[in-house]
Structure formats: structure tokens, C-alpha cells
Amino acid sequence: MLRIHNSLAREKQAFTPIESGKVRMYVCGLTVYDYFHIGNARTLTVFDMVYRWLTTAGYEVKYVRNITDVDDKIIERANRNGEAIEALTARMVAAMHEDCDRLLMLRPSVEPRATHHIDNMLGLIGDLVSKGKAYPASNGDVYYAVREFAGYGKLSGKSIDDLRAGERIAVDGHKRDPLDFVLWKAAKPHEPHWCSCYGEGRPGWHIECSAMSRAELGETIDIHGGGWDLQFPHHENEIAQSEGASGKPFVNYWMHAAFLNMDNEKMSKSLGNVFTTREILVKLDPVQGGETVRFFLLRGHYRSEINYTWDILQEARGALASLYTALRDVPPAPAADFELDWNDPHARRFHEAMSDDFNTPMAFAVLFELRNEINRTRDGRLAALLRALGGTLGFLQADPAAFVQGMAAADETAEIEALIAARAEAKKARNFAEADRIRDEIKARGIILEDGAGGTTWRKA
């Protein structure tokens, strides 16, 4: 029996889908104005893991993950770059897919774009206006009337009165209440816009997910996921919009992935500690880098914050390599001779861990137990089991020898770069004897150094 921690109920609950054997899952995707950062990567990877495990558990899953391709940040970035919005978003969507592929993510069943669902958004807004839950304002905007939805705050635990007292809300004379939020923004010069009965404009951010979820999955869905930071106001507003229009429950199980911190601090542009996933992947060997990052992102439970440092990533890399080394040294039994048996004690414990709110730390512990037994018994069927269990989460499907060789090559590269940096420091300190010694050490490794105006480069002899 699968149990999921439901953010709305604030407890683990047995999972019962709306339709037996089928799951409707919606996850908030990316706003495509830049490469996605490592915190985004955690959320995307978590729900790829959820998608994979639900499929492994026998469910037919329709997984919808949206793309926001019209937004203030997109407009600002396109203007700064001097490029068309469509060109920017097309470039960033392509980059997103490249980076997701390197992290071994499966593509969602559907990946709707906001600009392709304007009519659905306007239809939902029309429903809300007709039911008195939203209103057109004199400035051409359309607002959601928060006080007209009795359940506002039930996901986040915030009350309207507390929000009024404790939040700083910009004064807007066009709103009936400062807490009301925009559904449709009146057109501004030189911004993309669409025609509507409210005038030319574009959608607000929150309405996108309610409209696309309704269009792709229906009025009530099984699972809605996203990062913890989206719980309020985005997901709270989605509930108000969707339930305000339908009068039905919007989501049966809410799931939220916790933050990824950078060196024990929350990521922040002001602190300069925001790194894109692409930046990190570029520093790793292409054979094993993406799987290493994926392994790091899933080692912690999805509801627990995890900490990123380069050293922690390297530790995860070594742990993953130990699993591949076992598979290299003890080749798995041929696929034709092996079938995953969930009654096997290891497989059963793995299944129990994943069925307990997707407990990847406990599932990974089973993989390491298997590694130890493989190293002790040299049993090819255990190796096949290790590979099969890892495969349910997107791991251990690469060629083991190539993976381990890639690790060695990456380690050698790091060592050479460190020696070159040490030689440069020695030359700067005018310690030429030490610089020559380091050069000889590098040469003994079969490496040729080439000093130039731009610094030192190297190649194998």
C-alpha cells in the first residue's frame, strides 16, 4: 500500500487514486527565461522519481508538467538581450530538455505551454467572474476576490485576517481588497498580449496551472507537486481558482519538495550562491556527471532539506561509483535469465521503502546492502537485482566499465588541474625549483604543458 505525505492533511495517507490503476499528476514546471538552477533540478528530479515509481508500482500515469513561456521575467530578459520572446523561450526550452536528459529524467506525458492555453485560461476566468469569485477592474485587469472563497489558506495554514495584519501588500486602488490577486493583466506597450472580453492583455501567473490542469487532467486530480516555496501563494491561489470555479476538490494529494541549500545557506542571488544545473554538469565527466547529480539529489528524502557543496557532490559520486564497480566486477545475469521478484527480501525492503512516502534514503540503503553481498558472494543474480532495482529510479543502466573509467579520467583531470595551479603559484612566488619539479611530475604522467599569454593548457603526449 503506497502512502504519501499530503501537505493539505499534514500527514501520511494511504494513496487511493480517483480511477483505479490510473494516476493524474500535475507538477509546476519552469519559467523559461534562463538555465534552471540546482534547486529547480531537485524538484524536477524528485517528481521524475515519483513518476517512475508510480509506473513501477503498476499505475498508468498521466504526468503533466507545464512550461511558463510568458511572464514578467521573460519579457525583461528578452528586452535586455534584444531578442524576440519566442526566440528566448525556444532556446531555453531546448536547454531545459538537454539538462533534464543529462539528469536521466523521463519526459512528462504532456508538457503544456502557457501561450498555447490562453483560451482555457480565459474560460476559467469567465467561470470565476460569473460565480462572483472574480471581477474586472477599471484598469483592465481582472482580479480574484479572495474573501469570496471560504477555504482560502487551508493548504498553507494562513488565515486571511493574519495575512492582512502581517503581510506587506502594495496598495492598489483598483482592487476591492489588498489580498486579491490578478488573473488577467491589461496590455502594456511593447508586451505580448491577447484579445479578450476584458480587453487586450495577458494571463497572471497563478491562473496558468489551474487552467492547464483542468484542460489536461479534469477538475479533480490525484497528485499535484512542486517546490515547498510554491505552497503559498501559488498553490493556495490555484486551489481558490480551481475550486471556486468547479465547486469540487481540486487535488487529493499535495506533495512539496524541500529546499536545496548551498553550503548551508538558502540559495539567493544577493548572496551570489545560485548555480545553474548546467554549470555543475559542465564540471563533471559527461559519462557519469548527470547520474552523479541525480544520485546526489535523491539521496535525501524529498521532504528534507539537503545541502550542496562540491565536496558533498564528490562524496555522492564515489558512493554511486561503488555500485557501478560491483556491477563491473560481477557482471549481472543476462536479462533473459532474470526477472525482478518483489518477494526477494532485498526487493521487498526496497519496495516497502519506496511505498512509504518515496523513502529514497532507505531504498538506497538496500542498494548498498546488495553491493556488499555482491562483493562477498560474486553472485550474478544479485548483480542483476541491483541493476534492476536501481533502474526503477533511473540509476545503474550505463555500462559499468565505462562509468568507472569515466570516474578515473575525471579524477586524473582534477589532479592535473590542481598541479598546474600549484605550479602557477610557485612561479608567482619565484620558487622556480618547485615549479620545475611540478612540471617534471606532470610530464612523468605523459602530459605536455603549453604556456601562453592566456595561461597554461595541457594535452596528453
Task: Measure the CA–CA gap between 9 and 13, rounded to whole angstroms.
Answer: 8
Task: Measure the CA–CA gap between 458 and 451, rounded to whole angstroms.
Answer: 9
Task: Measure the CA–CA gap between 128 and 135, rounded to whole angstroms.
Answer: 8
Task: Measure the CA–CA gap between 118 and 406, rounded to whole angstroms.
Answer: 47
Torsion sign, CA atoms 373, 378, 380, 381: negative
Is 28 within any annotated ligand binding site?
A: yes
The alpha carbon of 239 is separated from its chain's Cα centroid by a whole number of angstroms, namely: 22
Query: 144: how many CB neighbours lie within 10 A of its CB?
Result: 27
Question: Could you tell me which residues come within 8 angstroms of residue 261 by beta carbon, excluding any fewer than 6 positions away?
Answer: 267, 305, 306, 307, 308
Is 12 within any annotated ligand binding site?
A: no
Task: Measure the CA–CA gap between 118 and 46, rounded to whole angstroms.
Answer: 29
Q: Which helix or strand (DSSP H or E) is residue 266 part of?
A: strand 265-266
Helix (H, G, I), strand (E, B) or coil at 341: coil
Is 100 within any annotated ligand binding site?
A: no
- Beta-bridged to residue 254, according to DSSP, are 224
Bond prior to 233 in cis (omega within 30° of 0): yes
Task: Measure the CA–CA gap between 224 and 62, rounded to whole angstroms.
Answer: 12
Task: Measure the CA–CA gap between 352 and 206, rounded to whole angstroms.
Answer: 36
Is 190 within any annotated ligand binding site?
A: no
Helix (H, G, I), strand (E, B) or coil at 298: helix
Task: Measure the CA–CA gap between 461 and 457, rounded to whole angstroms.
Answer: 13
Q: Which of 409, 410, 420 is nearest to 457 (CA)?
A: 420
Task: Measure the CA–CA gap between 311 and 265, rounded to whole angstroms.
Answer: 16
Is 195 within any annotated ligand binding site?
A: no
Radius of gyration over every alpha carbon of the chain, rounded to an integer in angstroms:
26
Any idea what the Cα angle at residue 67 is, between residues 225 and 313, rounded to 5°?
65
| Residue 225: φ, ψ to 5° | -125, 165
- Which residue ranges make up the annotated binding site for Zn(2+)? 28, 209, 234, 238
Binding site for ATP, by residue number, is 269
Residues making up the annotated binding site are 28, 209, 234, 238, 269
